[in-house]
Amino acid sequence: MGAQLRLLRRRIKSVKSTAKITRAQELIASSRIVRAQQRMQAAVPYEREITRAVTGVVSNTASVDHPLTVAKAQPAKAAVLVVTSDSGFCGGFNANILREAEALSSLLRGKGIEPVPFVTGRKGVAWHSFRGRTMGGQWTGFSRKPAYADAKEIADALIESFSAEDGVDEIHIVSTQFVSMLTQEVVVKRILPLEVEETTEAPDTPLPYFEFEPSAGAVLDTLLPRYVESRIFTALLQSAAAEEASRRRAMKSATDNANELIRVFTQQMNQARQAEITQEISEIVGGANALADAAAGKE
């Protein structure tokens, strides 16, 4: 019985230590979510304006035939940028992204297109390396706080592969979009060949009229790489906020489970202590009765 009490005490101590760690992780994630949301919202005006500028160029010039805007009739390869996290303790965050990336890869193979993974985050890199997958590029170390330079480095590698003669013909992004503190969604977007999205402006709001010098193609040569960089940077910022929200939710759940285990183990320890005390009292009473019977027999 004493061994059982010692075992329960060790378990309670171990679970309490775990609860302290998960609680600390929850508080850290909660504080970082606010900063991640602020950075995400600060990048919205730039993305909106550069999208508007690209839309204006393409809308005002019907004869633009830019390599980044023309889809090939029979694409052979597609780059899939998979945005994962550098660290764990974030629930199903990475598993959901990798599952969606696998579904996209299967869909592309069904169309006769070979997917080439480009991966950000240590979790995604480790997942592909463990399975012997050849990656077109890999980047780690900035999933919680991405910088624009990181997005530019990724965009340069993707555009270089897209522009190469034997490179990829399409570029897709698989990332997690931050919707709210409780909701994060995995989204799949094709960013090249360019698909200019519809704006949220009223239908009667005209796009600005541009005059191009020296030509619309030269303007797109400058704008489109910046457009791709902004799309990737937004995806990284959204993923960073979603990662912290997922980590906060996972750590809160782990803390709640640890507290429930502590309650159960404490109850079991109290029951074992009561059983031990009852047994000791029974042994004392039994011994006293035996002594009394022995004394009565001598008389």
List the strands of the sheet with 77-83, edge to edge: 137-139, 114-120, 77-83, 170-178, 184-192
Given a contact cutoff of 8 angstroms between Cβ atoms, the answer to whether 37 and 243 are in contact is: no
> For 155, what's the count of Cα atoms within 13 Å in the CB-facing half-sphere?
23
123: helix, strand or coil: helix
Enclosing H/E stretch for 251: helix 216-298
Q: Which residues are catalytic?
A: 90
Which phi-psi region, left, alpha or beta, contains residue 132 (left: φ > 0; alpha: ψ -120 to 50)?
left
| Residue 186 identity (one-letter amino acid) | V
Q: List, in sequence order, the alpha helices (H) in 61-121.
A: 93-110
Residue 266, token pair as written in the block: 């404490």
For residue 124, give the nearest of 89, 94, 157, 91 by alpha carbon: 94
Residue 142, token pair as written in the block: 């900035």
